[in-house]
Amino acid sequence: MNNTIAVNMSEVRARMMAACTRSGRNPEDVTLIAVSKTKPLAALQEAYAADARDFGENKVKEIVQKAPAMPSDARFHMIGHLQRNKVKQVLKHVVMIHSVDSVRLAEQIQADAAKEGIDVNVLLEVNVAKEESKFGFMPEEVPDVIEVIKDLPNVHICGLMTIAPFVENPEDNRPVFKKLYELSVDIKSKNIDNVTMGVLSMGMTGDYEVAIEEGATLIRVGTGIFGAR
């Protein structure tokens, strides 16, 4: 099957649209990120031909290889845990780092971004469900963390990201998405300089429709577009 990726993309787009309609949201406010980790360049090119422009990767090595090989209007998002010694390599290839999970990482991004003379858009990863196995800040520590990161002049907090638990029934993750949304509303209401909360990165193949209903602006879909990894 040659056009599987294109067919999958149109199915995901149709479901996104339906979720927007159900929840009274503007479809333009929700962006699909095609999570292409582990997939070969040919798969990304196929998705690009089906109008994918945003790609999610979780390894610096893959971003550094794939980003320069794609058309220049393809945007790459770093969605995986980022080691501080790899920040410098990845900065110029990504439009956003979704996975800021420590103050030290944010400080490293600041140091490398200042050297390059660039600004970096980031999201704070929040471990909403408090899973042992996951990276991310605990929800209750986010306000204090923001008080530190807001003062890093080249690092702009644009919103929050979460990786919800693996569940059979996507409805089980609704409270997780609601909680991330509520946290973003609380933070937004403080009107902190250098911090905006317009972006909520939440929802994957199994639960993106529920995430959209609860306010996601970026959804990260891998398996649903590229098939099993």
CB closer to ligand PLP, 152 vs 218 = 218
Helix (H) or strand (E) holding 219, with range, is strand 218-221
Helix (H) or strand (E) holding 201, with range, is strand 195-201
CB of 124 to ligand PLP, least distance (A): 14
Residue with tokens 């390599």, as numbered in its chain: 89
134 binds ligand PLP (CB under 6 A): no
- Non-local CB neighbours of 75 within 8 Å, separated by 6+ positions: 53, 54, 55, 95
159 binds ligand PLP (CB under 6 A): no
CB closer to ligand PLP, 122 vs 152 = 122
3-state secondary structure 112-171: HHHHHCCCEEEEEEECCCCCCCCCCECHHHHHHHHHHHCCCCCEEEEEEECCCCCCCCHH
Q: Which one of 39, 66, 75, 220 is in contact with ligand PLP (CB under 6 A)?
A: 220
Residue 80 per-residue DSSP state: S
Interface of this chain with ligand PLP, residues 76 to 105, rule: CB under 6 A:
79-80
CB closer to ligand PLP, 25 vs 77 = 77
Interface of this chain with ligand PLP, residues 61 to 80, rule: CB under 6 A:
79-80
Interface of this chain with ligand PLP, residues 160 to 199, rule: CB under 6 A:
163
Residues that bind ligand PLP (CB under 6 A): 35, 37, 58, 79-80, 163, 204-206, 220-224
